[in-house]
Amino acid sequence: MAERETWTTRVGFIFAAVGSAVGLGNIWSFPFQTGSNGGAAFLVVYLAIVFLFGFPAMLMEFVIGRRSKQNPISAFRELGFGNWSFAGALGVIGSVVTLAFYSVIGGWVLSYIAGSATGAYFGEAGTFFESVSAGPLAVGTHAVFMAVTVAIVAFGVQSGIERATKVMIPAILVLLLGLAVWGFTLDGAAAGYEYYLSPDFQYLSENIATIVPSAVGQAFFTLSLGFSVMIAYASYLGRDDSLPADGGAIVVINTLVALLAGFVVFPVLFAIGVEPGSGGVGTAFVSLAGAFGQLPGGALLGAAFFFVLLLAALSSAISLLETPTSYVVDNYDYSRRTVATGLGAAIFALGVPTALDTGTLGWYNDVVFSFLLPFVVLLFALFVGWVAFDSASEELGMGTSLGGGFVTLWLWWVRVVIPVGIGLTLVLGIQDLLI
């Protein structure tokens, strides 16, 4: 079997992991969730969850991956606890299912780039959405998006994922920054910022029991946690870099991109007086396209915006495909190219029902977001904190200058605070689903 690849450079790993983190979650879900859940008041809660739960949870996956140097399923066996492999496997299943949905939405984005450039959705944002989001066209764009994802993953860790994300991440940052500056010049800027960030503590406190579980789900999702993805990516790491420093950089960049997205989306919507819909991903496409269709320069700027969205979706999709691919490549004697193609085809098929009827997206949200995700992170925490804690602590201490105090604090955080927090979240989330 060929030797296992590693990232060429530390920065290469950071770009790849940022590529995974920065996705539809940042540019779609985050701004709309913030706007409709109490603005700056929600933001405070959300940021606290990202840094207090997301950051240490990311370190758990990094430690499992780098220590074992194995895919997320074999990792547990490699560390001497083979019967915990089911935890990694659940994450891999989450990746596979997520990619099926993600790729369908990636296909919509392709149609929206074309629709911006040609003006096809101008003045008919609603009918355009219906024609591109469900039906033969949606199946076709889903296929194209998946094919590009497969092509990148087939080239491998260094010449595929690392090389691609090294171009995509700077492009996302520059374009988004440019769009935010343009947003600032629009008539809707002040009203947009107001909607996005004006703190509504009353709303927050009245709805805290439903907001916290969804903020936890959003925080894990946006950081690509609970899908075993960060285990897979960290398994290609060399030993001497600081995991806390890398994780910190990834969390901060992911947060900044999300914040920046709101500074683009809301000025655009308010510039022409469109109400930001809170009805999920479809509403967001319709209202945003409606706005671009009426703004001067909307063809170019709309195309730029949807191009950013495409890059973000693609750099996340490759991590979702890499995760199951790494398992098969590590364990069976097939070439990476064959595996990526085969898995891509199977996951494409899994997404076809969604490309024909978007109703399945609500199901995904309920099951994966509110349940599977926190549950898998909980399993990882129990494993790292109470089962493999010796090697986990030792691994976290390697390459960092933070010292033993940080490692001890992290370990007890993982042992107690994260499980209790997620336990409460799961109870609230399930309660919410049942009512």
Q: Report the interface residues with ligand PHE, using CB under 6 A.
A: 20-21, 23-26, 98, 221-222, 224, 227, 229, 316, 319-320
Binding partner at 343 among ligand PHE, Na ion, none, C-beta below 5 to 8 Å by kind: none
Binding partner at 24 among Na ion, ligand PHE, none, C-beta below 5 to 8 Å by kind: ligand PHE
Select from 340, 236, 216, 177 the least CA-distant residue to 15.
236
Q: Closer to ligand PHE at the Cβ: 165 or 319?
A: 319
Residue that has been written with the tokens 């369908």 in this structure: 104
Residue with the CB atom nearest Na ion in the bound state: 222
Q: Which amino acid is at 342?
A: G
Binding partner at 74 among Na ion, ligand PHE, none, C-beta below 5 to 8 Å by kind: none
**Dihedral (CA of 282, 284, 287, 290) sign:** negative
Binding partner at 221 among Na ion, ligand PHE, none, C-beta below 5 to 8 Å by kind: ligand PHE
Q: What is the DSSP string of 221-284?
A: HHTT-SSSHHHHHHTT--SSS-HHHHHHHHHHHHHHHHHHHHHHHHHHHHHTTPPPP-S-HHHH
What would the two tokens of residue 280 be? Answer: 């999920």
Q: Closer to Na ion at the Cβ: 70 or 316?
A: 316
> Which parts of this chain interact with Na ion (CB under 5 A)?
21, 25-26, 222, 254
What would the two tokens of residue 396 be? Answer: 């976290």
CB of 74 to ligand PHE, least distance (A): 19
Q: Closer to ligand PHE at the Cβ: 256 or 387?
A: 256
CB of 381 to ligand PHE, least distance (A): 17
Binding partner at 316 among ligand PHE, Na ion, none, C-beta below 5 to 8 Å by kind: ligand PHE
Residue 53 burial (CB count, 10 A): 25
Q: Closer to ligand PHE at the Cβ: 26 or 235?
A: 26
Q: Closer to ligand PHE at the Cβ: 54 or 298?
A: 54
Q: Closer to ligand PHE at the Cβ: 117 or 151?
A: 151
CB of 38 to Na ion, least distance (A): 21
CB 200 within 8 A of CB 38: yes
Burial per residue of 81-113, b for 16 or more beta-carbon CB atoms within 10 angstroms, e otherwise:
eeebbebbbbbbbbbbbbbbbbbbbbbbbbbbb
Residue 194 burial (CB count, 10 A): 14
